[in-house]
A and B are shown apart, each in its own frame.
Chain A
Amino acid sequence: MPPAGIPPSRALPPKESSLFKEVLHYYEDRQLKKGLKAADTILKKFPNHGETLCMKGLILTHMGRRDEGLELVKQGIRFDLTSHICWHVFGLIQKGQKKYDEALKSYTQALKFDKDNMNILRDAAHLQTQLRQYDALVETRHTLLRLRPQLRQNWIALAVAYTLAGNLTEAKHVLEQFERIVKNVPDYDVEMSEILLYHLRILEDLGEYAEGLALLDSSAKERTIIDRVSIMEFRARLLSKLGSAEAQQAWQGLIEQNPDCYDYYKGFLSNRGIDLDAITDETRGQALQLLNDFAQQFPRAGAPRRIALTVAVGDEFKALVEPYLHSRLGKGIPSVFTDLKALYRDTAKREAIESIVHAFLDTLTHPPDAPCPPSIDPTTYVWTLYFLAQHHSHLGRHQRALELLDTALAHTPTLPELYMFRGRVLKRAGDPYGAARWVDQARLLDLQDRFLNARCGKYRLRAGLIDEAVEVFGLFTKKDAPSPAQDLEDMQSLLYLTEEADAQLRLGNLAMALKKYVAIQKIFDDFEDDQFDFHGYSVRKFTINIYLNTLKWEDTLRSHPAYVHAAINASRILVRLHDDPSLATKPASQSHLSEAEKKAKKKAKKAEKKVQEDGKKGIANSTNEDKGLDAGPAKDDDPDGTKLLQSPEPLERAAKLLKPLTSLVKDNFEAWIAVYDVAVRRKKYLQALQALNNAHRLDADSPELHIRVVDFKRRWSTLSDKPSETVASVVSSTLPKLIPEEISLELFNSQYLQKHSSRGGAVLGAAKVSRDLGAPREEVEAAVFTALNADVELNLETAMAIDAFLSEIQSSRQEEFRSVAREKFPLATVFASREELQALRRSAVQKDLVDTNESKEEILS
């Protein structure tokens, strides 16, 4: 039976050979136990039969015995290196482990020995898409189409491959070919409709608008495209691009369909030669006229009115914004301020809004202890106070905002927004404890409000109250989860992970902070892995358009603010570990950690125990249950993050975290600073210099950059082993643009300080540099203290950074600084003394909602 060419080690006698076929069968039917038994029978006689060993390994993996399974598969391959089954099995397992590049290598091996195997080809195509190897993908899809041209999805898959590879013309040809031969399409077929829309998208991207319009019109007429909104949108866009007179009508139709879609107005106006993103004095009047017409036509639509506010200036703006504000404040829309905040970039508009709303408030003001005059609606008054509080707090006038909120609270003490925003003002003013207390007050008014609960948890984290925060977050999590924190991580709550990591970092618990930042990184890895299944699914279901959008989104995934923040902060921790490895072994000695830590450890132990028990249970009933190939969640063997903190090569890990940022968020100053810090320590001088250049492009005067420029020059000039000549020549030609060659670093530093002596941040930066240059502590301290001078602009953030710096250099004048800072920032509590801080922390979670009752004597039951 065995065909010629089969190696003798693989050939089995007829009985075993049919038994092996049964193994394959059982595996496909998921009869794992029977499959295992059959495989064992073969192996009893032929213990070195590679394919059987691999199949047994695969079955064991499915049954949850992953390590054992993998070992058998590896053994099997060694016995039979030319079997496509062995390599296929190995590929399957690697894919399950999400090692996509290794899996693809195995599939490529498998294809060497069975080049037309459809299943292997298809899986390989998915892997190639995941790994963005688009040229190879086109090859694979071609092969699949050649093997099975009668399958619709093979045609579409090839077109998609061409699209991804950037060859739109070929993609178009494939689709044209496909549309010519496709037969028996039922009416109102969603799949065909999607394919035609995909075809249109390619034509639009190719700039073949006339051809696109022809396809659109014929498909719309024959009703082969059934998505009517898409038809209208494509039509409007294509007509516009063709400069057709019908375009205006098309956009008008879309606006009538949905008068609140900004894109439609944008399209309509751009068709009239008005670019909403670059309004000129010539186009302004015309745009306002058109928007006004739409506003009249659609009295309930917000979009034309709001767009007009962006376009209008001067008195025209005032005339438009006044009724806009009055109607929204009158309706009690809580988000008016958020809606208008974007206009504040224009100072004139900001001032106009301020005076209009204050004038409006004057017409509404009435005492809180008597009935409101009938001509006024009391809720309008409250919402107007709320708006103004947001306005003033946004501009840094926190005291003013608090007064407005207190007026509103005396009038209507039951509106949670007022409490919440009062908390927010305190947070901005540097009082995280008061902030947490006020947000908690808002929450107590309505305990089932998810937003208030989430906010309360976040504010508690901001105040460093980690246990108390988890208590609130626990309202959201499954009751049978090992811990709320674990469940929130499983649920991929970026908000929680980010805030807890930041809180741990502020508390000095580097291990936990790093652990949470890494958890965020893992979530983004998961996002990336999650797309894998769609490479097969979307092509098979013909949901091409949304699939292509998804892939594009996945490619820029790590530009998400949560990732950027986590990567930068984690890299900072890792750099600190590199500079001072003793941090990794030092016990987190701070007193405030003790209680929280103990509890966390206890919880983690419990969770661990539970996971282990679950694992045991799993083995006990693992008879025939398929656990799949994807490795399940690993148990958390590092609950407090110490192992993570002590892992080797912190710099390499940091570099890996930061790598996506250099291409995805090129305009993020902090990212380049973080990249520099890691690169220069890894002795990657060109990369470090490139980071400095980019940072210089974004903010040439930044103190953080100043510090690094000096740092680079110092390291470079004291380098013992000179790097290669190319590197040296690039550095010597580029560095002088950042720092003059001839002057000393001390002089450079004092020049910088002189130039920016009125900026608190610059004062701190210069002080840090002189510390790095070895100035005596007293001198550095004196330099820092000039930030407190009356003519220096000092914000809260910088003051806190100075406080941290004084603590870092173990200055004896830290307390002195804090007491001056207390006076400078009267609302802030962050500079309070240690004892006071204890009391503040306690007060943040006190439930004093009923305090006002204490003075009352009469008690009614």
Chain B
Amino acid sequence: MGDDRERERERVLLAVLRVWPSSSLTPARTRAPLLSQSPMVNESRPSPSRVSFAAVTPNNLGTVRKLNSVLFPIKYSEKFYNDIVQPEVEDFCQLIYYNDIPVGTMCCRIEVQDGQAKLYLMTLAVLAPYRSRGIGSQSLKHLIDTAAAHAKPKINAIYLHVQVSNGDAKRFYERHGFKEVGLYENYYKKITPHDAWILQRDIEAVSGSEGK
């Protein structure tokens, strides 16, 4: 009887070490983005501060809501929040982290017209104390690079609306190659001024192998 039982006991020993069942709660802490986007540190700045990105998911949507409520004078609908967690737009709906703290968001949707896909940049904003540190520029550059490397569908352009009172924002986009292509009158219904510029930048696709 002996050896048999001893062997059996070895198996039992493994059971003794109780294990938590795997659940839907995957890695313990995913707050800091796991995406290994190259830390795009501005070389002129000596600080080791890091800007990084992580896709918006149903789990961190609370952070996006919180940011939007602080950053924008307008309220976003449930449809907006539902759309930005869809897998197709994963690359274009991102939380922006500075030193592992979420400080901004950028969210796009893909619009296809006549077989041409365009990105519409719905939101891009960074918390006030974190502005003027190049975080927005790095984010926009990240977005443009991602769009250029995107294959299905191929992205031809990025466009967005800027309230006509917001000259700073317009200049910011123009520095990144956006051009004013039109004026949308009465774009905003309840905040003034009602009109918005339409800014657009064409995207030249890079093939996957060259793409960085």
A residues adjacent to B (C-beta < 8 A):
27-28, 118-119, 122, 332, 366-372, 374, 377-379, 381-382, 411-416, 444-451, 453, 475-478, 491-492, 530, 533-534, 536-537, 540, 628, 849-850, 852-853, 856-861
Contact indicator B21/A537 (Cβ below 8 Å): no
Taking the nearest CB of chain A, how far is it from the CB of B38, in angstroms?
Answer: 20
Contact indicator A445/B4 (Cβ below 8 Å): no
Give the chain B neighbours of A367 by CB distance below 8 A.
129
A118-B2, A540-B6 given; A372·B77 CB < 8 A: no
Which A residue's beta carbon lies closest to that of B58?
Answer: A447
Choose among A119, A448, A533, A628 the residue that contacts B26 (Cβ–Cβ < 8 A): A448
Choose among B1, B13, B21, B66 the residue that contacts A477 (Cβ–Cβ < 8 A): B21
Question: How far is it, in angstroms, between the C-alpha of A413 and the C-alpha of B8 when the chains are bound?
Answer: 55
Give the chain A neighbours of B8 by CB distance below 8 A.
628
Question: How far is it, in angstroms, between the C-alpha of A764 and the C-alpha of B47 when the chains are bound?
Answer: 58
Contact indicator A475/B25 (Cβ below 8 Å): yes
Taking the nearest CB of chain B, how far is it from the CB of A258, in angstroms?
Answer: 25
Choose among B16, B62, B77, B79 the residue that contacts A533 (Cβ–Cβ < 8 A): B16
Question: How far is it, in angstroms, between the C-alpha of A476 and the C-alpha of B122 when the chains are bound?
Answer: 36
Give the chain A neighbours of B47 by CB distance below 8 A.
377
Is B86 engaged at the interface, CB distance under 8 Å to the other chain?
Answer: no
Scan residues 2-33 of chain B and give those whose CB is less than 8 A from a CB of chain A.
Answer: 2, 4, 6, 8-10, 12-13, 16, 18, 20-21, 23-31
CB-CB nearest 10 A-B residue pairs = A444-B62, A371-B132, A858-B74, A119-B2, A447-B59, A371-B131, A448-B59, A856-B75, A379-B99, A372-B129
Contact indicator B77/A860 (Cβ below 8 Å): yes
Contact indicator B66/A849 (Cβ below 8 Å): yes
Contact indicator B133/A445 (Cβ below 8 Å): no
Q: Which of B144-152, B174-182, B186-194 contacts A (4 or more CB under 8 A)?
A: B186-194
Give the chain B neighbours of A414 by CB distance below 8 A.
63, 66-67, 101-103, 127
Contact indicator B63/A445 (Cβ below 8 Å): yes
Is B137 engaged at the interface, CB distance under 8 Å to the other chain?
Answer: no
A377-B47, A448-B26, A448-B59 given; A416·B70 CB < 8 A: no
Which A residue's beta carbon lies closest to that of B10?
Answer: A537
Q: Name 11 extra pairs, CB < 8 A, besides A447-B60, A537-B13.
A: A412-B103, A413-B66, A445-B63, A445-B66, A476-B23, A533-B12, A536-B9, A850-B65, A853-B69, A858-B189, A861-B79
Taking the nearest CB of chain A, how far is it from the CB of B72, in angstroms?
Answer: 8
In the complex, number of A-B residue pairs with CB atoms less than 8 Å apart: 154
Which B residue's beta carbon lies closest to that of A858?
Answer: B74
Which A residue's beta carbon lies closest to that of B105?
Answer: A414
Contact indicator B74/A860 (Cβ below 8 Å): yes
Contact indicator B26/A492 (Cβ below 8 Å): no
Give the chain B neighbours of A860 by CB distance below 8 A.
74-77, 80, 122
Contact indicator B31/A446 (Cβ below 8 Å): yes
Contact indicator A451/B29 (Cβ below 8 Å): yes
Question: How far is it, in angstroms, between the C-alpha of A633 and the C-alpha of B155 when the chains are bound?
Answer: 60
Taking the nearest CB of chain B, how far is it from the CB of A416, in angstroms?
Answer: 7
B residues adjacent to A (C-beta < 8 A):
1-2, 4, 6, 8-10, 12-13, 16, 18, 20-21, 23-31, 47, 49, 58-60, 62-63, 65-67, 69-70, 73-77, 79-80, 98-103, 122, 127-133, 188-191
Which A residue's beta carbon lies closest to that of B99?
Answer: A379
Question: How far is it, in angstroms, between the C-alpha of A122 and the C-alpha of B25 when the chains are bound?
Answer: 44
Give the chain A neighbours of B28 by CB distance below 8 A.
449-451
Taking the nearest CB of chain A, how far is it from the CB of B54, in angstroms?
Answer: 11
Which B residue's beta carbon lies closest to that of A414?
Answer: B102
Give the chain A neighbours of B129 by CB distance below 8 A.
366-368, 370-372, 378, 381, 411-412
Taking the nearest CB of chain B, how far is it from the CB of A86, in angstroms?
Answer: 14
Question: How far is it, in angstroms, between the C-alpha of A534 and the C-alpha of B28 when the chains are bound?
Answer: 31
Give the chain B neighbours of A540 by CB distance below 8 A.
6
Contact indicator B75/A859 (Cβ below 8 Å): yes
Give the chain A neighbours of B9 by CB distance below 8 A.
533, 536-537
Choose among B1, B24, B76 the residue that contacts A119 (Cβ–Cβ < 8 A): B1
Give the chain B neighbours of A849 by CB distance below 8 A.
62, 65-66, 69
Choose among B26, B59, B69, B133 the residue that contacts A446 (Cβ–Cβ < 8 A): B59
Contact indicator B59/A477 (Cβ below 8 Å): no
Contact indicator B98/A379 (Cβ below 8 Å): yes
Contact indicator A856/B25 (Cβ below 8 Å): no
Taking the nearest CB of chain A, how far is it from the CB of B31, in angstroms?
Answer: 5
Question: How far is it, in angstroms, between the C-alpha of A445 and the C-alpha of B66 when the chains are bound?
Answer: 8
Most buried by B among A369, A411, A414, A477: A414
Question: How far is it, in angstroms, between the C-alpha of A378 and the C-alpha of B103 when the chains are bound?
Answer: 11
Question: How far is it, in angstroms, between the C-alpha of A856 and the C-alpha of B102 when the chains are bound?
Answer: 23
- 15 CB contacts below 8 A, A to B, read A119-B2, A332-B101, A377-B47, A379-B99, A412-B129, A414-B102, A449-B29, A453-B25, A478-B23, A534-B13, A853-B75, A856-B73, A858-B75, A858-B191, A859-B75
Question: How far is it, in angstroms, between the C-alpha of A492 and the C-alpha of B74 when the chains are bound?
Answer: 48
Choose among B6, B10, B30, B70 the residue that contacts A449 (Cβ–Cβ < 8 A): B30
Contact indicator B59/A371 (Cβ below 8 Å): no
A412-B129, A445-B63 given; A377·B2 CB < 8 A: no
Choose among A332, A378, A628 the residue that contacts B130 (Cβ–Cβ < 8 A): A378
Give the chain A neighbours of B122 by CB distance below 8 A.
860
Taking the nearest CB of chain A, how far is it from the CB of B50, in angstroms?
Answer: 10
Give the chain B neighbours of A445 by CB distance below 8 A.
60, 62-63, 66
A377-B49, A477-B23, A540-B6 given; A533·B60 CB < 8 A: no
Which A residue's beta carbon lies closest to that of B16?
Answer: A530
Question: How far is it, in angstroms, between the C-alpha of A536 and the C-alpha of B12 when the chains are bound?
Answer: 12
Contact indicator A374/B132 (Cβ below 8 Å): yes
Question: How far is it, in angstroms, between the C-alpha of A536 and the C-alpha of B2 when the chains are bound?
Answer: 11
Give the chain B neighbours of A537 by CB distance below 8 A.
9-10, 13
Most buried by A among B6, B12, B99: B99
Contact indicator A475/B59 (Cβ below 8 Å): no
Taking the nearest CB of chain A, how far is it from the CB of B18, in angstroms?
Answer: 6
Give the chain A neighbours of B16 by CB distance below 8 A.
530, 533
Give the chain B neighbours of A28 by CB distance below 8 A.
1, 4
Contact indicator B66/A857 (Cβ below 8 Å): no
Choose among B25, B70, B79 the residue that contacts A476 (Cβ–Cβ < 8 A): B25
Taking the nearest CB of chain B, how far is it from the CB of A797, in angstroms?
Answer: 33
Taking the nearest CB of chain B, how far is it from the CB of A383, in angstroms?
Answer: 9
Which B residue's beta carbon lies closest to that of A629?
Answer: B5
Give the chain A neighbours of B58 by CB distance below 8 A.
447
Question: How far is it, in angstroms, between the C-alpha of A852 and the C-alpha of B98 when the chains are bound?
Answer: 24
Question: How far is it, in angstroms, between the C-alpha of A282 and the C-alpha of B191 when the chains are bound?
Answer: 73
Question: How far is it, in angstroms, between the C-alpha of A534 and the C-alpha of B130 when the chains are bound?
Answer: 57
Question: How far is it, in angstroms, between the C-alpha of A146 and the C-alpha of B122 when the chains are bound?
Answer: 84
Taking the nearest CB of chain A, how far is it from the CB of B138, in angstroms?
Answer: 15
Taking the nearest CB of chain A, how far is it from the CB of B44, in angstroms?
Answer: 11
Taking the nearest CB of chain A, how far is it from the CB of B135, in angstroms?
Answer: 10
Give the chain B neighbours of A477 by CB distance below 8 A.
21, 23
Question: How far is it, in angstroms, between the C-alpha of A448 and the C-alpha of B67 when the chains are bound?
Answer: 18
Question: How far is it, in angstroms, between the C-alpha of A537 and the C-alpha of B122 when the chains are bound?
Answer: 63
Choose among B62, B76, B100, B128 the residue that contacts A370 (Cβ–Cβ < 8 A): B128
Question: How far is it, in angstroms, between the C-alpha of A412 and the C-alpha of B47 when the chains are bound?
Answer: 20
Give the chain A neighbours of B102 by CB distance below 8 A.
414
Choose among B4, B6, B12, B133 the residue that contacts A371 (Cβ–Cβ < 8 A): B133
Contact indicator A368/B101 (Cβ below 8 Å): no
Give the chain B neighbours of A453 by CB distance below 8 A.
25
Give the chain B neighbours of A861 by CB distance below 8 A.
77, 79-80
Taking the nearest CB of chain B, how far is it from the CB of A487, in angstroms?
Answer: 8
Which B residue's beta carbon lies closest to that of A375?
Answer: B47
Question: How far is it, in angstroms, between the C-alpha of A218 and the C-alpha of B129 when the chains are bound?
Answer: 65
Taking the nearest CB of chain A, how far is it from the CB of B42, in angstroms?
Answer: 11
Contact indicator A449/B31 (Cβ below 8 Å): yes
Contact indicator A412/B62 (Cβ below 8 Å): no
Give the chain B neighbours of A444 by CB distance below 8 A.
62
Taking the nearest CB of chain B, how far is it from the CB of A736, in angstroms?
Answer: 53
Which B residue's beta carbon lies closest to that of A853?
Answer: B75
Give the chain A neighbours of B21 by CB distance below 8 A.
477-478, 491
Most buried by A among B28, B60, B122: B60
Contact indicator A491/B18 (Cβ below 8 Å): yes
